[in-house]
Amino acid sequence: MARQITLIPGDGIGPEVAEATVRAVEATGVDVEWERVEAGAKALEDLGQLLPDDVFASLECTRVGLKGPTATPIGGGHPSINVALRKKLGLYVNFRPVRMLPGLKTRFSDLALDLAIFRENTEDLYSGIEHEVIPDVVESLKIITKTASMKIARAAFEYARREGRRKVTAIHKANIMKMSDGLFLKCCRTVAGEYGEIEYTELIVDNACMQLVMRPETFDVLVLPNLYGDIVSDLAAGLVGGLGIVPGANIGDRHAIFEAVHGTAPDIAGMGMANPTALMQSAALMLAHIREREAAEKLQGAVERVYAEGRHLTRDVGGAAGTREFTEAVIAAMSR
């Protein structure tokens, strides 16, 4: 029986990288039935809603989704669709593995970086609770709870134990935000005490950013509140080639959505130039999540072979190939 998966193509280059990824997933041989729903600009145009009810209805049935990028306006306009999905579905873990792909040349290519970032996904300043106190004075509330902090800390340590990772580092600003980040840190310390075989360290977020640029190889698993996690995970992506490379997973107790973390790139939408690597690697995480591990390894291995060979890479990573050529190369690599 086919496994049903919700597909949200997204905006800009989203439909192109989503279609490429669907082809790659199907080429693994896994039996998948896609339930396509729209969210974002196209949904607003066609249905009058940015995040229609049928998105949640589909995810309630499938429990797992693959999502392309959706646009979020800056300084006004509609709220983030990603944040709305994470809060509504309780997707408290944002997991981003940051690994150097073979053959890809960056300033850190020689280090074979392999980081795992666990970002709390439902609260902090991303709760969106803000108001104007008096004219020209705005207050935004930072929400940190014991429940959410314990959950993300446990997710990071469970992953480290399961995957044989050596160290978990908690990132914070508890020297200044003594109550909110102090609570997050207290929860991380409590959970760390249950995993004695794993080294536990702490870094203030500004120092952590500097250390990531200077000595990224000293990090292993990182656990962070929402805002710092967003910033640090993008910084880490820059070490291995950018947001067009790294995958993302949003996981809760009942639902999971796997997505590319890059933007919609409207300047190249429809031109066949988009790089589907991030969404393909996200799909590999998705396949592993639904216990199709062989298919996950097949897809991930094919992407890595294409990068190692270097003949069919897209322009953003130094090649000249388009979306279709890259996708065909990944599919061909699976049969070798």
Domain assignment present for 106: no
In a domain, 296, yes or no: yes
Domain shared by 273 and 198, yes or no: no
CATH number at residue 312: 3.40.718.10
pTM: 0.93
Tell me if 55 sits within 8 A of 47, measured CB to CB: no
pLDDT at 27: 97
**Quick check: is 15 in a domain?**
yes
Q: Angle, to 10 degrees, between the axis of helix 14-27 and the axis of helix 293-309? A: 110
Write down how long the chain is: 336
Residues 228, 254 within the same domain: no
Asked if 81 and 50 touch (Cβ cutoff 8 Å), the reply is yes
* Residue 5 and residue 94 share a domain: yes
Q: pLDDT value at position 78?
A: 53
Look at residue 109 and tell me if it is in a domain. no
Domains identified in the chain, total number: 2
In the chain, what are the helix, strand and coil shares in percent, each to the nearest 5?
45, 20, 35
Question: pLDDT at position 24, please?
Answer: 98
Question: φ, ψ for residue 134 (rounded to 5)?
Answer: -140, 170
198 and 97 both lie in a single domain = no
- Considering 213, 239, 265, which residue would you say is the last residue of a domain? 239
Q: What's the pLDDT score for residue 157?
A: 98
Identify the domain containing residue 327 by its residue range: 1-101+242-336
Q: Are 88 and 117 in contact (CB under 8 A)?
A: no
| Whether 282 and 297 share a structural domain | yes
Q: Which helix (H) or strand (E) holds 27?
A: helix 14-27
- φ, ψ at 4 (rounded to 5°): -80, 135
Looking at the structure, do residues 235 and 120 belong to the same domain, yes or no? yes
The residue among 239, 268, 289 that closes a domain is 239
pLDDT at 42 (0 to 100): 82
Nearest CA to 266 out of 6, 5, 15 is that of 15
Q: Return the SS3 of 95.
A: strand
232: left (phi over 0), alpha (psi -120 to 50) or beta: alpha
Decide: 318 and 103 in contact? Cβ < 8 Å. Answer: no
Query: In the chain, which residues have pLDDT < 70?
Result: 72-79
Say if residue 210 is in the same domain as residue 274: no
At 231 the three-state DSSP class reads helix
Same domain, 215 and 269: no
Look at residues 239, 254, 289 and tell me which one is the last residue of a structural domain.
239
Edge to edge, the sheet with strand 221-224 lists: 32-36, 3-8, 64-67, 256-260, 247-251, 93-99, 114-120, 221-224, 167-172, 199-204
Identify the pLDDT of residue 20.
98
The answer as to whether 8 is a domain residue is yes
Burial class (CB in 10 A: 0-12, 13-18, 19+), 22: buried
Active site residues: 126, 173, 206, 230
Can you read off the two tokens belonging to residue 113? 């970086």
Verify that 304 and 203 share a domain, yes or no: no
96/124 same-domain check: no
Per residue, what are the HEC states of 152-202? HHHHHHHHHHHHCCCEEEEEECCCCCCCHHHHHHHHHHHHHCCCCCCEEEE
Asked whether residue 145 falls in the same domain as residue 176, the answer is yes
CA distance 222 to 172: 11
Q: Is 107 part of any domain? A: no
108 belongs to a structural domain: no
297 and 234 part of one domain: no
In the block, which residue shows the tokens 């360290």? 201
35 falls within a domain: yes
pLDDT of residue 118: 98
